[in-house]
Amino acid sequence: MDGEPKPLDRTIEISSTEGVKRALAERSNWIARLGEEAINRSNPRLRAFVLERRAVIDQIESDLESVLRDKDRLFISYSGSDNAFFTCAKRIAESKYGFEVVTGPFVRDEENQLHLSIRKTIAAANAFLGIWTEEYEATSSRDGTTGGVPSAWLPFELGVAMAHDLPFRLCIHRGVHRDFREKIESNRIHHQFDASDYEGVFDTYIGDLRARIVEQRFRRLGEVSGWPPRPGDSMGASEEDRL
């Protein structure tokens, strides 16, 4: 149909709330025009299509209002001995990308354990950023290479985030042994950093997480198109629909 919205370029159009607003307005106007056509043509199939897609738009509008009202939570996992890196990442996340940063201190349970408090805090977050630095030195028994090892809590926290399917990124100090970068989710690109470039690295990866959250939440915008339906789609299609 003339005026049908183009397919979404997810890397551009829905990586920010402003992009969502533009794509939503375009699709809302298109559905309104289809609704008028459904009435003029007395086409019940087109009317059903409009109602279905209108419901999607209504839900997205509600989600967008929630996003603009409530801040997304970013859990930052880091070693307490490297507070300067955390402070920098927190400032960028809050001031530039509008996150509410969550992390420790954590509360010990009746058995003097921390893991339950950590798990609850991560489960309530929307995204996860790991800042892995050297806690101590170790030598690999496999190949004899040496390198820094992050705090034992950091891989645990990453595992919790992955179990909850949170969008995540790791920023790994160049002093950390390469196995921690290459063997954990090796298909992902984890950026290395040191004292010379950490601010730019954190900015890039926090911005990436912001885009991922928005994209995941609003990918249904891509459903608001596609009239007339193709044969085999749930709506079906007839020659009359294609006129």
Model pLDDT, residue 76: 95
Report how far residue 54's alpha carbon sits from residue 232's, in angstroms, rounded to the nearest whole number: 21
Pick the CATH number of 73-196 from 3.40.50.10140, 2.60.120.260, 3.40.1410.10, 3.20.20.150: 3.40.50.10140
| CA 80 and chain centroid, separation | 26
The residues, any chain, with a CB within 8 Å of residue 162's CB and separated by 6 or more, are 168
| Helix (H) / strand (E) containing 135 | none
For the whole model, what pTM was predicted?
Answer: 0.68
Model pLDDT, residue 67: 65
Q: Note whether 75 and 122 are within 8 A (CB).
A: yes
Report how far residue 82's alpha carbon sits from residue 90's, in angstroms, rounded to the nearest whole number: 13
Stretches where the chain sits below pLDDT 70 are: 1-17, 66-70, 105, 107, 109-112, 184-189, 218-243
User: Could you give the residue range(s) of every CATH 3.40.50.10140 domain in the chain?
Assistant: 73-196
**Do you find a cis peptide bond into 7, omega within 30 degrees of 0?**
no
Degrees, nearest 5: CA angle 194-196-201: 65
Model pLDDT, residue 164: 93
Q: Note whether 221 and 20 are within 8 A (CB).
A: yes
Q: Note whether 232 and 122 are within 8 A (CB).
A: no
> What SS3 class is residue 116?
helix
